[in-house]
Amino acid sequence: MFLGEFAHTIDTKGRLTIPAKFRGLVATGLVVTRGFDQNLMLYPMDEWEALAARIAQRPLSDIDMRSFRRRVFSGAVDLVPDRQGRVIVPPYLREFAGIDKEVVIAGMFNYLEVWSKESWTAVRASIEADTTGWADLGI
């Protein structure tokens, strides 16, 4: 399970170091794709395959599903971390998320989100400031 937030950097070659705590969960491979906000989503291979299977069950005739597929799959790249637990994030994904150097890797239970430090700071402040709608979540 992915929990917590970790400050890291991406080097000039685009290498992102996976937090040591999570390396065992992604050692055999992972998928990085565009997030729904200005962020990236990083899935361990088994979670990615489960998500892809759920998406594959949806009809291609559904225009919203086709758009969703385009966003998620066209931006995706499968990677295997090196011995130091690093993956190379392609330039188009770094550009999409506005990631330059400092990043925050946030655990989201079954996947990770990768944010620029500035974007994460803003999102986190917004979340902490507005808790009024949480009651409607039924949790």
The percentage of residues in the chain with a pLDDT greater than 90, rounded to a whole number, is 90
The CA-atom distances, in angstroms, between 25 and each of 5, 16, 72 are 16, 16, 21
Confidence of residue 137 (pLDDT cuts 50, 70, 90): confident
CA 105, chain centre distance (Å): 8
- The Cα–Cα gap between 93 and 115 comes to 11
The model's pLDDT over 66-110, given as tens digits with 9 standing for 90+, comes to 999 999 999 999 999 999 999 999 999 999 999 999 999 999 999
pLDDT at 80: 97
Please give the residue that has the higher pLDDT: either 121 or 129: 121
The percentage of residues in the chain with a pLDDT greater than 70, rounded to a whole number, is 99
The model's pTM is 0.92
Q: How many residues does the chain have?
A: 139
**Where are the strands (E) in 3-138, listed by range?**
5-9, 15-17, 30-34, 40-44, 77-79, 86-88, 102-107, 112-116
Dihedral sign for Cα atoms in the order 54, 55, 59, 62: positive
Confidence of residue 134 (pLDDT cuts 50, 70, 90): confident
pLDDT at 114 over 90: yes
Question: What residue ranges define each of the domains in the chain, with the CATH number in brackets?
Answer: 5-134 (3.40.1550.20)
With beta carbons less than 8 A apart as the criterion, state whether 38 and 97 touch. Answer: yes
